[in-house]
Amino acid sequence: MSRLVAVAANTFRETVRERVLYNLVLFALVMTLSGLLLGQLSIRQDEKIIKDIGLAAMELFGTLIAVFIGTGLVSKEIERRSLFPLLAKPLSRGELFLGKFAGLAFTLLVNVAVMTAGLFLTLLATAGRADALLLAAIVPIYLGLLLVVAFAMLFSSLTSSTLAAVFTVGIAVAGRFTDMVRNLSEVAPAAPRWLGPALYAALPNFANFDLKDRVAYGDPVPATVLVWIAVYALAWIGIVLGLGLAAFRTRDFQ
Amino acid sequence: MPENESRPAIETRGLSKSYRTGHVIQGRRAALQDLDLEVRRGEILGYVGPNGSGKTTTLKLLIGLLKPDRGEAFVLGDPAVSRSWRYRAGYLPEHPYLYDYLTPAEYLDYVGRLFGYPAAKRRERARELLALVGLERSANVPMRRFSKGMVQRAGLAQALVNDPELLILDEPMSGLDPIGRRLARRIIVDQHRAGKTVLFSTHILTDAETLCDRVAVLRGGRLLRVGPLGELLRLDVEHMDVLVAGLSEDGARLPDVDRVERVGDRLRLQVREAGLGRTIVGIESAGGRVLGVQPVRQTLEDYFMREMGGSAGGVGAWGEG
Same domain, B77 and B195: yes
Same domain, B82 and B150: yes
Chain A, nearest residue to B151 by Cα: A82
**3-state helix/strand/coil string of chain B:** CCHHHHCCCEEEEEEEEEEEECCCCCEEEEEEEEEEEEECCCCEEEEECCCCCCHHHHHHHHHCCCCCCEEEEEECCEECCCCHHHHHEEEECCCCCCCCCCCHHHHHHHHHHHCCCCHHHHHHHHHHHHHHCCCHHHCCCCHHHCCHHHHHHHHHHHHCCCCCCEEEEECCCCCCCHHHHHHHHHHHHHHHHCCCEEEEEECCHHHHHHHCCEEEEEECCEEEEEEEHHHHCCCCCCEEEEEEECCCCCCCCCCCEEEEEEECCEEEEEECHHHHHHHHHHHHHCCCEEEEEEEECCCHHHHHHHHHCCCCCCHHHCCCC
Largest CA distance in chain A: 63
B321, part of any domain: no
| A254 neighbourhood in chain B, CB within 8 Å | 19, 60, 66
Same domain, B153 and B13: yes
How many residues are given for chain A? 254
Inform me whether the pLDDT recorded for B287 exceeds 80: yes
The confidence band for B311, taking pLDDT boundaries of 50, 70 and 90, is very low
Same domain, B132 and B177: yes
Inform me whether the pLDDT recorded for B4 exceeds 90: no
Which pLDDT score, from 0 to 100, does residue A242 have? 96
Contact criterion met (CB < 8 Å) for B83 and A13: no
Same domain, B246 and B269: yes
Domain boundaries, chain A: 2-250
Distances in Å between the alpha carbon of A226 and those of A135, A183, A220, A229?
A: 11, 27, 11, 5
| A250 neighbourhood in chain B, CB within 8 Å | 67
Which pLDDT score, from 0 to 100, does residue B234 have? 65
From the list B66, B90, B93, the residue facing A252 with the nearest CB is: B66
Which pLDDT score, from 0 to 100, does residue B312 have? 37
Q: What is the DSSP letter of A36?
A: H
Q: Split chain A (254 residues) into runs of 10 and give each run's mean pLDDT.
A: 91 81 70 67 69 86 88 85 93 94 92 86 78 88 95 91 91 85 76 80 88 83 92 96 94 88
Please tell me which of A53-62, A122-131, B111-120, B303-312 the model is most confident about, judged by mean pLDDT: B111-120
**Which tens digits make up the pLDDT trace of B191-203?**
999 999 999 998 7
Higher pLDDT, A47 or B75: B75
**A-to-B residue pairs, Cβ atoms closer than 8 angstroms:** 75
Chain A, nearest residue to B164 by Cα: A89
Chain A, nearest residue to B31 by Cα: A254
Which pLDDT score, from 0 to 100, does residue B228 have? 86
Same domain, B172 and B270: no
Same domain, B228 and B244: no
B251, part of any domain: yes
Which pLDDT score, from 0 to 100, does residue A155 have? 93
Across-strand partners of B200?
B46, B169
CA distance B87 to chain A (A): 6
Contact criterion met (CB < 8 Å) for B63 and A89: no
Pick the residue of B56, B86, B97 with the most A CBs within 10 A to test the interface with A by mutation. B97
Domain limits for position B108: 3-232
| A99 neighbourhood in chain B, CB within 8 Å | none
Inform me whether the pLDDT recorded for B307 exceeds 90: no
Same domain, B53 and B200: yes
Q: Which residues of A touch B (CB under 8 A)?
A: 2-3, 6, 9-10, 13-14, 17, 80-82, 84-92, 250, 252-254
Same domain, B227 and B124: yes
Which pLDDT score, from 0 to 100, does residue A41 have? 64
| A9 neighbourhood in chain B, CB within 8 Å | 113
Q: What is the mean pLDDT of chain B?
A: 86
Same domain, B228 and B248: no
Which pLDDT score, from 0 to 100, does residue B320 have? 35
Contact criterion met (CB < 8 Å) for B90 and A82: no
B195, part of any domain: yes
B107, part of any domain: yes
Inform me whether the pLDDT recorded for B316 exceeds 50: no
| A80 neighbourhood in chain B, CB within 8 Å | 97
CA distance A97 to chain B (A): 14
CATH number at residue B85: 3.40.50.300
ipTM of the complex: 0.83
Same domain, B218 and B244: no
| B67 neighbourhood in chain A, CB within 8 Å | 250, 252
Number of domains composing chain B:
2
Which pLDDT score, from 0 to 100, does residue B108 have? 96
Q: What is the DSSP letter of A239?
A: H
CA distance A180 to chain B (A): 35
Residues B170-181: what's their mean pLDDT?
A: 86
Same domain, B198 and B245: no
**Which tens digits make up the pLDDT trace of B149-166?**
899 999 999 999 999 999
B315, part of any domain: no
For chain B, what percent of residues have pLDDT higher than 90? 54
Residues with Cβ within 8 Å of residue B6, at least 6 apart in sequence = B77
The confidence band for B313, taking pLDDT boundaries of 50, 70 and 90, is very low
From the list A10, A14, A80, the residue facing B97 with the nearest CB is: A80
Which pLDDT score, from 0 to 100, does residue B309 have? 64
B285, part of any domain: yes
Contact criterion met (CB < 8 Å) for B66 and A254: yes
Which pLDDT score, from 0 to 100, does residue B321 have? 31
Inform me whether the pLDDT recorded for B298 exceeds 80: no
pTM: 0.82
**Which tens digits make up the pLDDT trace of A15-69?**
888 766 676 677 667 766 676 666 666 655 677 888 888 888 888 888 988 998 8
